Structure 1
Amino acid sequence: MNPTQQALRVAVWQAAPVIMDAAATVDKTVHLIARAAASDAQLVVFPEVFIPAYPRGLSFGFVVGSRTEAGRRDWQRYYDNSILVPGPETEQIGEAAREACAYVVIGVTERDRMNRTLYCTLLYFGPDGSLLGTHRKLKPTGSERLIWGEGDGSTLTVIDTPFGRMGGLICWENYMVLARAAMYQQGVRIYLAPTADFREVWQSTMRHIAVEGRCFVIGCNQYVEKSMYPHDLHYRKDLDSQPEVMCPGGSCIVDPYGEYLDGPLFGEEGMLIADLDLGALTRTAMDFDPIGHYERPDVFRLEVTK
């Protein structure tokens, strides 16, 4: 799809969910979408699993070879505050997107309708309020595998928009070389990277992808303090050894030259905002185009199983 729009205003929300409270977090999401719309944002981006939270630091009573009933109850609380897609929560977010006349992208924990598997999922809403697409994380990292199932190639989603093709990968999926190649192959111009990674080296990843993919990269993380966790969790003692600021953020907006347009933001909740000059996508392709003169299909071939 050829873009019809030459500029795009993007808002990125580095915010904390109301941890393990889906209804309250959806209400906060709706409020933050409206605030971004007041700044004339046309695309509003939220972090990985903003609903109902990234359960950083919690064990849910899992150790190799055994589980506990108290841990199962914490997990059920997380499960009960995860959402169906589509469902009433996606309808609320879609309506907020429609009122804002903006694209909205948000990470959630999704409950499968047919079984009790959870997925780390990225949702795409259009300015008409419709749910345009989903992406389920292909490979949860480390202990995340105790919480979320694996997605498949059918949800390597790319959305056509007036400003070009938009798509993304979640957190350490961005270290999966062929997953990135699959996104480039689909012509991504606006590359979304919601994450839970706040390391300094993650900034290098965001800048590298922008240069490698000749795309704008939108990195979005949560800001979370230990005091924000519910105090009645059975395994809240897991957090005793954690710092008070458990996730300091690091959200950023990077242009296809690898330069920051806004951020990285650390140490607080806040909204990043930037006006993207979409003409830069063509200018940077003059000397390197990952799906053009640098693709070399006579030498390399990528096949995605869906």
Structure 2
Amino acid sequence: MKGLNGAVRVAVVQAAPILFDKESAFQKVISYAKEASGQGVKLLVFPEVFISGYPRGLSLGARVGSRTPEGRGDWARYWESAIDIPGADTERLGEIAREYGLYLMIGVVERDQEFSGSTLYNSIVYVGPEGELLGKHRKLMPTGAERLLWGQGDGSTLTVIDTPFGRIGGLICWENYMPLARTAMYAKGIDILITPTADARDTWQATLQHIACEGRCYVLSSNQYVTKSSYPTDLYCYSDIEQDSDVLCRGGSAIVGPLGEYIGEPLYDGEGMLVADLDMSLVTRSRFDFDVVGHYNRPDVFQLIVNETKRDIVRFQSYTIANAIEA
């Protein structure tokens, strides 16, 4: 593999839609895609579950040992605002990407299409500038109370895509605290790691810089800026946030270079878009003295096995008298 050369202009979006309102999210995608294209951006990253929102602070009527009918109603609204991959909504994202000549990488709430259709996943969808669906990644481990909302992804969606300017893959929010998940992505040769997130703590910035230094890759982190005005007041669980401050998530989106330096300083306390030019030759140069899965690796001491097979929840097979006799 030859070393990377050239530059690419990228951007991360810090914004939030109206919660559980898919059309609101799409209108923001269109607006930012148009703005980014006008600035020569080729890769545009949106936050965790941007379509259709991260329900920060909401209990959905759930307590240990009990749920409420009204909370189930709020969850049903969330389900209705989710998308199918592939489906009409990803086709629409493809049209947006094609119109503005962008690689779009967007956090979405994905509906399971294989079994009951009711399980939701926290996913990243990857769309190319020709409008093609390039892949998806499902969050492996929902964090804390998120486990009530989303199922667990499996190793079949540890997606890395090839682009003219390098290999790109993503881990969602606290997946980035999973050392073995990071190692798997490094071993796939990523040059740009995207980290859609909902974490606005100062310590998240230390995580971004550490990962950039560890993987010798660019890290693009996109967070939502959320205020109570983006929450429908007719939600049953709206009372969960009524006493909270107006700003529910302050943001902290950032772009970090392969030696841990900020290319785009963290954005706080407002909606916006960070734009940066990435010199891709720096990825190769940065690995001169540290290549975490190359010359700085000790496979004779440490080995990682990654199961990338798709997890089959149910397997159907025909049953006949002959099967029973053979058994």
TM-score range, shorter chain: over 0.9
- Does structure 1 residue 258 correspond to structure 2 residue 285? no
Cα deviation digits, residues 103-155 of structure 1 (max 9, x gap): 11000000111321000000111111101010000000000000000000111
Matches within 5 A, 1:233-248: 233-248=235-250
Higher alpha-carbon deviation: 190-199 or 295-304? 295-304
Contact 2:18 2:232 in 1 (8 A): no
- For 1:79, what is the secondary structure of its paired residue? helix
Q: Residue 12 of structure 2 corresponds to which residue in structure 1?
A: 12
Contact 1:3 1:164 in 2 (8 A): no
Cα deviation digits, residues 166-201 of structure 1 (max 9, x gap): 001000000001000000010110000000000000
Equivalent residue letter for 1:294: Y
Unaligned runs of 5+ in 1: none
Q: 1:239 and 1:120 mapped to 2: Cα distance?
A: 22
1:101 Cα deviation after fit:
1.2
**Which of the numbers 178, 185, 188 marks the counterpart of 2:187?**
185
- For 1:299, what is the secondary structure of its paired residue? coil
Q: Residue 323 of structure 2 corresponds to which residue in structure 1?
A: none
CA-atom RMSD in angstroms: 1.1
Higher alpha-carbon deviation: 22-31 or 241-250? 22-31
TM-score, length-scaled by structure 1: 0.98
Q: Residue 156 of structure 1 corresponds to which residue in structure 2?
A: 158
Q: 1:241 and 1:152 mapped to 2: Cα distance?
A: 38
Contact 1:249 1:268 in 2 (8 A): yes
Q: 2:139 and 2:109 mapped to 1: Cα distance?
A: 10
Q: 2:264 and 2:307 mapped to 1: Cα distance?
A: 36
Percent identical residues? 57
Matches within 5 A, 1:1-306: 2=2, 6-113=6-113, 114-115=115-116, 116-306=118-308
Equivalent residue letter for 2:192: I
Q: 1:34 and 1:291 mapped to 2: Cα distance?
A: 38
1:18 Cα deviation after fit:
2.1
Structure possessing the higher radius of gyration over alpha carbons:
2
1:241 Cα deviation after fit:
2.8
Q: 1:152 and 1:112 mapped to 2: Cα distance?
A: 13
Equivalent residue letter for 2:17: P
- For 2:65, what is the secondary structure of its paired residue? coil
Cα deviation digits, residues 3-31 of structure 1 (max 9, x gap): 77511100111011121111221122122
Number of aligned positions between the proteins? 306
Higher alpha-carbon deviation: 291-300 or 152-161? 291-300
Contact 2:12 2:46 in 1 (8 A): yes
Q: 2:15 and 2:61 mapped to 1: Cα distance?
A: 27
Contact 2:79 2:111 in 1 (8 A): yes
Q: 1:21 and 1:232 mapped to 2: Cα distance?
A: 13
Contact 1:163 1:278 in 2 (8 A): yes
- For 1:188, what is the secondary structure of its paired residue? coil
TM-score, length-scaled by structure 2: 0.92
Contact 2:3 2:281 in 1 (8 A): no
Equivalent residue letter for 1:91: E
1:208 Cα deviation after fit:
0.2
